[in-house]
């Protein structure tokens, strides 16, 4: 029974995987990165000893402008069934979180998170913060259980652990993809760029690559490239071209002559391949015109050297990847959160988006499904207009969107880059992932934004059951 000073929160859901599989996922260090919501102002400082008794995890949590250290110690370890983390230092007067994994059937289990906590400052803390804490826990665990369910659906498609090499592993997309892979027991090995760096394996600018370091991988992901979001001076455009064309050519031709080449090369491209278009396009549509279309065509052609050598090559054409951590959404949030957002240009331009969960999930899926090769649109099956995206973001944030950004301002500030990326658009449909059975985590823009920003609808249809007990005797 809870004490007078104590609150109790419980969240549970049924996951389509065995208790042992889900427990193994939680034992891997990458699981904590996967399950930490991007809307939480929390940084993982270190994890020591896994989840067994005596192991510790250290976090840095921001409470307003103040960063607070949070250290939790694990105990109550029961293989395949349970572990518990107890706060040793942190923002709560008491925190004890039991993670339980209860078999339902051979390939289904119930995941239960039960938290007993007490707020600082006694009765004053309860009066001021108990409601806020419960609401925050509901958001966090709805997010965690949704990510866990999707990750397990994907991991169950893998027949064995894979050894994976990755360029661009330190970038936003690479960091998230590597966490997903490693949470499933795969080995992710970054290909480090730069001459003289310890462990460097390639330098595309100098045309150097360590061929021996690429032997024996199952999958190679090629995610590296010069950032697009910059003013397109002639020098910048040349850097963008060369980073994609020459880097991809170097990697693909090297993989083609290995003694033990990978089975799959997943080399990303972009939906900009289709140029600016008001029509719906899929993977059978022709290339468009414009600078980015030109870049994407050459980018994909450069990977064909690996295909000629018998390596399955997939070219995921990425839409706008949404996350509050980085990219377009992260850049828009400060203004929109203050009610200073609005449509860009006419607002009629297509907006081919994909949530970060589905961006990395689809990249993982491309490696696992042998029927996928060539172009694959990595976008949500709900291509929308820019105006609809802006309106939905304002609705989710509860802010007006009455501050439009005129086309002339975009052209003046950003030039050709703004013309193609913000005022232009395309509505790309993910026909090939859908035909192959990819399980989208967030197929609708409102669902994606609410998930990523921790803003559940008033009448949420979540499959996660949660209950919060009031502070009681």
Residue 179, judged by CB atoms within 10 A of its CB (0-12, 13-18, 19+), counts as buried
Residues 354 and 319 sit within 8 Å (Cβ to Cβ): yes
Q: pTM of whole model > 0.95?
A: no
Residue 4 pLDDT more than 80? no
Place of tokens 């395949």: 80
Residue 229 pLDDT more than 90? no
Q: Which residues pair with 222 in a beta bridge?
A: 167, 267
The Cα 334–Cα 401 span in angstroms is 13
172-183 vs 122-155: helix crossing angle, rounded to 10: 80
Tokens of 150: 């999707």
Place of tokens 């480090």: 192
DSSP letter for each residue of 344-375: BTTS-SEE-EEEHHHHHHHHHHHHH-TT--EE
Tokens of 368: 């696992």
pLDDT in tens, 9-38: 999 999 999 999 999 999 999 999 999 999
Q: Which residues pair with 112 in a beta bridge?
A: 12, 100
Instruction: Determine the pLDDT at residue 124.
Output: 45
Q: What is the DSSP letter of 454?
A: T
Q: What is the mean predicted confidence (pLDDT) over 159-164? A: 96
The Cα 381–Cα 432 span in angstroms is 11
The Cα 221–Cα 188 span in angstroms is 10
Instruction: Determine the pLDDT at residue 465.
Output: 64
Cβ atoms within 10 Å, residue 398: 9
**Structural fold of domain 163-453:** Rossmann fold (3.40.50)
Residues of the chain with CATH 3.40.50.720: 163-453
CATH of domain 7-155: 3.30.530.20
Residues of the chain with CATH 3.30.530.20: 7-155
Instruction: Determine the pLDDT at residue 418.
Output: 86
The Cα 41–Cα 454 span in angstroms is 12
Residue 472 pLDDT more than 50? no
Q: What is the mean predicted confidence (pLDDT) over 101-124? A: 88
CA distances from 226 to 179, 269, 283, 300 (A): 22, 13, 24, 16
Residues 268 and 222 sit within 8 Å (Cβ to Cβ): yes
Residue 250, judged by CB atoms within 10 A of its CB (0-12, 13-18, 19+), counts as buried
3-state secondary structure 71-140: EEEEEEEECCCEEEEEEEECCCCEEEEEEEEEEEECCEEEEEEEEEEECCCHHHHHHHHHHHHHHHHHHH
Instruction: Determine the pLDDT at residue 415.
Output: 87
Residues 68 and 90 sit within 8 Å (Cβ to Cβ): yes
Instruction: Determine the pLDDT at residue 462.
Output: 43
Q: 303: Cβ–Cβ under 8 A, 6 or more apart, which residues?
A: 222, 248, 252, 265, 267, 313, 315
The Cα 360–Cα 154 span in angstroms is 11
Residue 330 pLDDT more than 70? yes
DSSP letter for each residue of 378-426: ES-S--EEHHHHHHHHHHHHT------B-HHHHHHHHHHHHIIIII---
CA distances from 64 to 41, 59, 91, 421 (A): 9, 16, 12, 34
Cβ atoms within 10 Å, residue 1: 6
Biggest alpha carbon–alpha carbon distance for the chain: 71
Phi, psi of 100 (to 5 degrees): -125, 145
Q: 305: Cβ–Cβ under 8 A, 6 or more apart, which residues?
A: 249, 252, 253, 256
The Cα 383–Cα 434 span in angstroms is 14
pLDDT in tens, 231-278: 999 999 999 999 999 999 999 999 999 999 999 999 999 999 999 988
Q: Which residues pair with 188 in a beta bridge?
A: 164
pLDDT in tens, 403-443: 988 888 888 888 888 888 888 889 999 999 999 999 999 99
Instruction: Label residue 130 by pLDDT band (50, 70, 90).
Output: low
Residues 39 and 147 sit within 8 Å (Cβ to Cβ): no
């Amino acid at each position: 029974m809870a004490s007078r000073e104590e609150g109790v929160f419980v969240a549970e859901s049924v996951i389509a995987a065995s208790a042992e599989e889900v427990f193994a996922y939680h034992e891997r260090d990458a699981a904590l990165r996967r399950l930490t919501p991007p809307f939480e102002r929390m940084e993982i400082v270190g994890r020591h000893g896994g989840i067994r008794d005596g192991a510790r995890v250290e976090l840095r949590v921001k409470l307003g402008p103040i960063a607070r250290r949070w250290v939790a110690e694990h105990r109550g370890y029961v293989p395949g069934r349970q572990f518990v983390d107890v706060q040793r230092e942190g923002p709560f007067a008491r925190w004890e979180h039991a993670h339980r994994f209860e078999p339902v059937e051979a390939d289904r289990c119930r995941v239960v998170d039960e938290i007993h906590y007490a707020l600082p400052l006694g009765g004053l803390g309860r009066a001021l913060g108990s409601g806020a804490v419960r609401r925050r826990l509901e958001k966090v665990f709805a997010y965690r259980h949704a990510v866990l369910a999707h990750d397990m659906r994907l991991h169950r498609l893998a027949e064995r652990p894979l050894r994976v090499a990755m360029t661009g592993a330190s970038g936003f997309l690479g960091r998230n993809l590597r966490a997903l892979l490693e949470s499933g027991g795969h080995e992710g090995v970054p290909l480090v760029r730069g001459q003289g760096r310890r462990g460097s394996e390639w330098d595309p600018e100098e045309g150097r690559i360590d061929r021996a370091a690429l032997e024996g991988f199952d999958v190679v992901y090629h995610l590296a490239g010069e950032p697009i979001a910059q003013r397109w001076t002639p020098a910048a455009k040349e850097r963008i071209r060369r980073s994609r064309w020459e880097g991809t050519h170097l990697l693909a031709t090297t993989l083609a002559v290995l003694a033990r080449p990978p089975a799959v090369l997943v080399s990303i491209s972009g939906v900009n391949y289709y140029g600016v278009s008001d029509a719906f396009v899929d993977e059978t549509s022709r290339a468009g015109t414009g600078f980015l279309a030109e870049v994407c065509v050459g980018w994909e052609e450069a990977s064909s050297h690996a295909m000629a050598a018998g390596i399955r090559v997939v070219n995921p054409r990425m839409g706008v990847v949404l996350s509050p951590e980085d990219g377009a959404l992260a850049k828009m949030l400060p203004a929109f959160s203050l009610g200073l957002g609005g449509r860009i240009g006419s607002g009629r331009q297509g907006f081919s988006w994909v949530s970060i969960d589905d961006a990395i999930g689809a990249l993982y899926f491309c490696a696992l499904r042998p029927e996928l090769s060539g172009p694959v649109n990595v976008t949500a099956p709900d291509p929308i207009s820019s105006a609809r995206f802006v309106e939905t973001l304002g609705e989710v944030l509860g802010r007006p969107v009455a501050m439009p950004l005129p086309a002339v301002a975009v052209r003046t500030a950003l030039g050709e880059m703004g013309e193609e990326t913000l005022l232009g658009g395309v509505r790309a449909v993910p026909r090939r992932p859908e035909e192959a059975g990819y399980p989208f985590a967030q197929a609708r823009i409102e669902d994606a934004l609410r998930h990523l920003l921790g803003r559940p609808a008033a009448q949420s249809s979540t499959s996660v059951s949660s209950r919060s007990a009031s502070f009681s005797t």
